[in-house]
């Protein structure tokens, strides 16, 4: 069994938000971390600097994970820098909200590519070395929107629901080789995307959340860290909701 301090983690879309918190948490737990970004190199470098300042090991690698060649290059670069890959967190995601009747083709295609196609591409590249080493953890970040739907987010909800099916299917494919595949489904988390919610919507969210608050990026990161750990060695094909009880 690989020791926590020897583990290598790749977190897609980890220059900000939930991805950033996941990268910091896995590094704090002893993993060497690849911080992936698509366009904001400065933000990714800041995450790396924070990890290194705390005594950890990290590197930033730019790649568009919705593009096949980039996904392959990202996994290859991870092995080049750290020699192995133990944990893959598919976190990269975008929103292009709008009612279906007004949704543009590009708004559908871009969200499905970034949020779902990337999970397929990066997982396919990462599974090969994990199969050879007969161990690995894949954690996919979905959403409660993928479980219960959300008006104005047909594209986003479809992509996130697709991640759930992908997670369960891949878990059945690779379990015999010691690889677990799980998903985390955050609810309303305080990020740049939710910070400017209308007051009325925020009150509705809080009313429907038994714990009475929005989640933090650290809440989501803690769930990912657990599913990435040896403590979750007998858990696979599961979707862990991190939503304060909003979807029960």
Question: And the tokens for 31?
Answer: 């993993």
Q: Which residue has the tokens 């953890």?
A: 137
Mean pLDDT (the chain, rounded): 96
Is 0.85 surpassed by the pTM of this model? yes
The predicted structure's pLDDT at residue 6: 86
Torsion sign (Cα): 69, 72, 73, 74: positive
Distance CA 114, CA 70 (A): 13
Instruction: Work out the pLDDT band at 1, boundaries 50, 70, 90.
Output: very low
Percent share of the chain, pLDDT over 90: 92
Question: For 189-246, what is each residue's pLDDT tens digit?
Answer: 998 767 777 888 889 999 999 999 999 999 999 999 999 999 999 999 999 999 999 9
Question: For 16-54, what is each residue's pLDDT tens digit?
Answer: 999 999 999 999 999 999 999 999 999 999 999 999 999
Non-local (6+) Cβ contacts of 59 within 8 A are 33, 34, 35, 48, 81, 82
Question: For 172-194, what is each residue's pLDDT tens digit?
Answer: 999 999 999 999 999 999 987 67
- Report, as residue numbers or ranges, the catalytic residues: 156
């Amino acid at each position: 069994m690989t020791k926590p301090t020897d583990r290598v983690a790749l977190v897609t879309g980890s220059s900000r938000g939930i991805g950033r918190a996941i990268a910091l948490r896995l590094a704090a737990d002893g993993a060497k971390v690849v911080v992936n970004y698509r366009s904001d190199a400065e933000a990714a470098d800041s995450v790396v600097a924070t990890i290194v300042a705390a005594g950890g090991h990290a590197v930033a690698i730019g790649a568009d994970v919705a593009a096949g060649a980039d996904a392959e290059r990202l996994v290859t670069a991870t092995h080049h820098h750290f020699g192995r890959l133990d944990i893959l967190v598919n976190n990269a995601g975008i929103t292009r909200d709008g009612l279906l009747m007004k949704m543009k083709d590009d708004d559908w295609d871009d969200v499905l590519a970034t949020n779902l196609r990337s999970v397929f591409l990066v997982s396919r590249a990462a599974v090969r070395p994990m199969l050879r080493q007969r161990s690995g953890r894949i954690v996919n970040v979905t959403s409660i929107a993928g479980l219960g739907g959300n008006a104005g987010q047909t594209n986003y909800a479809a992509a996130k629901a697709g991640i759930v099916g992908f997670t369960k299917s891949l878990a059945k494919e690779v379990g015999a080789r010691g690889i677990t595949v799980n998903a985390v489904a955050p609810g309303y988390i305080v990020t740049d995307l939710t910070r400017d919610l209308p007051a009325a919507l925020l009150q509705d969210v809080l009313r429907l959340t038994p714990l009475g608050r929005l989640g933090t990026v650290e809440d989501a990161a803690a769930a990912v860290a657990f599913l990435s750990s040896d403590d979750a060695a007998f858990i696979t094909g599961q979707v862990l909701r991190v939503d304060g009880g909003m979807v029960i």
